[in-house]
Amino acid sequence: MKWIFFLLLAANLVFGGYVYLREHAPNPDAQLLRNQVNADQLRIVPPRPKAIPVPSSPQAQTTATPSACMEWGSFGSGELARAQVAVDRLALGDRVRRIEVSVTVGYWVYIPPLKTKADMDRKAGELREIGVLDHYPVLEAGRWRYAISLGIFRSEEGARKYLASLRAKGVRSATVGNREQRVSQTAFLVREPTDEDSANLAVLKSEFPGTDLRAIECPVS
């Protein structure tokens, strides 16, 4: 039975050693602190600041924001000279220029077709003598051959007002008629108009029936 005694003794010794080591083992948390290398030299790094957007240059801002323009028109040959005089009175300098626009006109002032080309040429000479220089002979075959066109207009009101000015010069045979067609006419483009410019252009629009005044983005060129 001695072997049972020694076996129990050995078991007690092992158990006692285990209890002793557990009680005297170092604290794991304290061990972690001791294991840190150069803990007194650690520092907290603040978060990286957000990048501040760089403001765009004045040139880039100009490109992103197109300039404003006012377009007034359009004018056929009959009213263009008078409209030019009206625009010149505004003294806009190099901020105003002419542009060509494609429009559909519905009315024209004309002298009805004459019998022969000789009759048409004679009538054209009479018009020049009284200062009516903007006129065009109609030579193509058809119902209007040998008529004389005195001007084309977008509105009947504009055509009749021009006819009245011709009558004042002594033109008696002219009349107003319908003639819808797509033509190129002239408009005035005013760059970066002031409030005063806009008001003056609105007054001119009322003096020229059938014209349009609108705000647009200035063309690049």
* Crossing angle of helices 195-207 and 77-88, rounded to 10°: 150
Q: At a CB cut-off of 8 Å and minimum separation 6, what does 80 contact? A: 134, 186
Can you say whether the dihedral through the CA atoms of 183, 112, 150, 213 is positive or negative? Answer: negative
Q: How would you class 185 by CB atoms within 10 Å of its CB: exposed for 0-12, middle for 13-18, buried for 19 or more?
A: buried
Comparing C-alpha atoms, which of 67, 73, 55 is closest to residue 154?
73
3-state secondary structure of 133: coil
- pLDDT of 181: 82
pLDDT per position as a tens digit, 65-103: 668 999 998 888 778 888 999 999 999 999 999 999 988
Place of tokens 């794991």: 28
Average pLDDT value for the chain: 80
pLDDT per position as a tens digit, 127-164: 999 999 889 999 999 999 999 999 888 888 888 989 99
Report CA Rg, the chain: 47
Please tell me what DSSP assigns to residue 155: S
Distance CA(176)–CA(151), nearest Å, equals 10
* Cα distances (angstroms) measured from residue 112 to each of 127, 131, 160, 170, 192: 14, 20, 16, 16, 44
Higher pLDDT, 10 or 124: 124
Distance CA(58)–CA(155), nearest Å, equals 44
- pLDDT of 199: 93
- pLDDT of 208: 86
* Cα distances (angstroms) measured from residue 188 to each of 95, 107, 141, 143, 217: 10, 21, 35, 34, 14
Q: Which long-range contacts (CB under 8 A, 24 or more apart) does 131-134 make?
A: 131/169, 132/166, 132/169, 132/171, 134/77, 134/78, 134/80, 134/81
Comparing C-alpha atoms, which of 161, 9, 193, 182 is closest to residue 90?
193
Comparing C-alpha atoms, which of 103, 207, 112 is closest to residue 161?
207
